[in-house]
Every structure is written in structure tokens, then in C-alpha cells.
Amino acid sequence: MKKNIFPKSLKKGAKIAVISPAGAVDAPQLQKGIEMIKNKGFEPVLGEHLYTKFSHGYTYAGTEKERIKDMNWALNDSDISAIWASRGGYGCQQLIQHLKLKKFKENPKWYIGYSDNTVIQSYLLKNGFVSIHGQTIKTSSFGVTDESYDLIFDILKGKMPKYSLTSNPLNKEGNIEGELVGGNLALIYALLGTKYSFDFKDKILFIEDIGENFYALDRMIMTLELAGVFKKIKGLIIGGMTNMGDEKDNKDYAESFDGFAYQMISERISKYKFPVVFGFPNGHIKDNRPLLIGGNLKMNIKAKAEIKF
């Protein structure tokens, strides 16, 4: 079986492209993140349309052509060593049919992002490249821990992450190893049935989401069920489920790990025997610790959950 390719570690002074593949951003929202890149010893290179705005039913960071141009520049410019998405939102699906990887394959580079960027990460994995599912440059309304960013820089320098999590009563014990796929549940769901969907066979699946009504969450989980995803995977990791349901009816509305959302997921997967971890600190949450999409993951779930790449 062919192993996925890990991009090279970054050396001091390496250039990191900052681009907006989906939703629009304002310069003040990225100031802290861009300064952080400089303070860590790297050079941020801003995409041409990083701060462009284009309104067409949603406020995008430029037209499709403008965002495609920035993405293909960042992917294929030999001077760029990593690509960091400014934010998610919506728009990455509009790009993937037009992405080019000819020079990228000669010089693979880390792609960093989450949320809507799950689409780009699925595309890269289809082509055999590992990416970082981690915090974007834009700091969200609920903030971002310093460690969330520090762990991303550790990966860029060649240090792979490992985590030890306290037990969750919904966890299912087991000891497995496999390739990690997934990201934002809404985008995993949106890609099902397309040639850009993840391959779930013998994989460990990670899911997280934000702002979905409970019936919409159940619909997405049911679609994975009906598509046979849960029959294919060998393990499941559930991250943040933030601002789920109706604020008036859901007492856990503001929590990062929504209790009722977890209960719904647990009920849907109860007949399957694969190991499951609830409460992994990744997603639309303050403590958003990076995962490697396409990386080989070892997962040992007992009293604690030990996860390492």
C-alpha cells in the first residue's frame, strides 16, 4: 500500500502563503496571526486576493477565478513552503475542479486549515498528500489557545503530535492503527457521492461541526450510515460540536462538546464495534489542537484515550 507523502519540515525564514479560499476577511482579523508567523521565524506572503470581497449570495474572498488564482499560485510556487488558510466559511467546493498540482507534486507543502478547508484536504489526500487540520489564521470569536498554534508550528518543524485525553463515558474501548480522514462533518457529507470524497475503507474517521440543528446533524450521520461509511471505518473520533441545535431548547448551546449532539451520534453508531473517542479538542473551539489528515494514527482507548501519529 502506497504511503501518503508528508511535506518537508520548514527551515527558519521559510515562506508561508496566507490565502483566503472561501469567506472574506478584514485585515485586522489576521493581524495577530500574521505577526505570529513572523515571530516564529517564518515569512508570511499574502495572497493577491487575501482581503478581496465579492458578494454573490455570500461574501466570498473574491470571485471564483480570483480565489482559484491565489490557490494555484500558493500550491505551485516553488518559493512557498506552506499554505495557511485565513479562514473557512464557504467556497472551497467551487475551487477543487480547477486546482493544479504539477509543481506541488515536485515540491509538496503543508496546507493548514479546518472547517470549509476540509474540501481542500480531501482533494490533497486523494492525490496522496498529508495536510494539517488545525486553526486558521483568523482567530475566532471564542478565541484560540497559544498551544493550538504552537502545535501547528511543531508539525511544520517536523515534530508530530500525540495526545492523552481524559475518558468520556460514551467512548468505546479499543486499540487500533490506521490512516486518519475527515474534518468538518458538513463538508464530508457534501462530498459524499463525488469523486472528491474521502475513501473510508479501513480508515479512522474524524468529525466536528458547528451551528447545525439537531435534525440536520442526524441527517448527516444517517447519510454516512446509508452510504456504508460506518461499515468501512475502523475507528471514529468526535471533536467539537459547537452551537448545535436551537438556542432556546438546548441548554448546552454554548458548549464546545454538545452533550445532546454526542448522545445522538452515540445512539446512531451503537451497533458498530469500532473504537470511538468523544471530546477530542479539535474543531470550532478555543482549544483547537491539530490533526494530520492522511497521517497514520495510533489510537488506544481505555481509561484514557492515547492518540499519536
- CB environment 54-82: b (16+ within 10 A), e (fewer): beeeeebbbeeebbbbbbbbbbbbeebbb
The three cell numbers locating residue 123: 482533494
Nearest alpha-carbon partner for 136 in 194, 186, 92, 180: 92
Catalytic residue ranges: 115, 208, 284
pLDDT tens for the 309 residues of the chain, in order? 679 999 999 999 999 999 999 999 999 999 999 999 999 999 999 999 999 999 999 999 999 999 999 999 999 999 999 999 999 999 999 999 999 999 999 999 999 999 999 999 999 999 999 999 999 999 776 789 999 999 999 999 999 999 999 999 999 999 999 999 999 999 999 999 999 999 999 999 999 999 999 999 999 999 999 999 999 999 999 999 999 997 545 554 456 899 999 999 999 999 999 999 999 999 999 999 999 999 999 999 998 999 999
CATH number listed for the domain at residues 15-157: 3.40.50.10740
| Sheet containing strand 110-113, strands side by side | 43-46, 15-19, 80-85, 110-113, 131-133, 291-293
| 162-308, CATH topology level | Glucose Oxidase; domain 1 (3.50.30)
3-state secondary structure of 112: strand
User: Where exactly are the structural domains of the chain?
Assistant: 15-157, 162-308
pLDDT of res. 143: 80
CA distance 230 to 262: 16
Q: 243: which DSSP letter? A: S
pLDDT of res. 249: 53
pLDDT of res. 252: 47
**Residue type at 119?**
V
The pTM score is 0.96
- 15-157 shares its CATH topology with 162-308: no
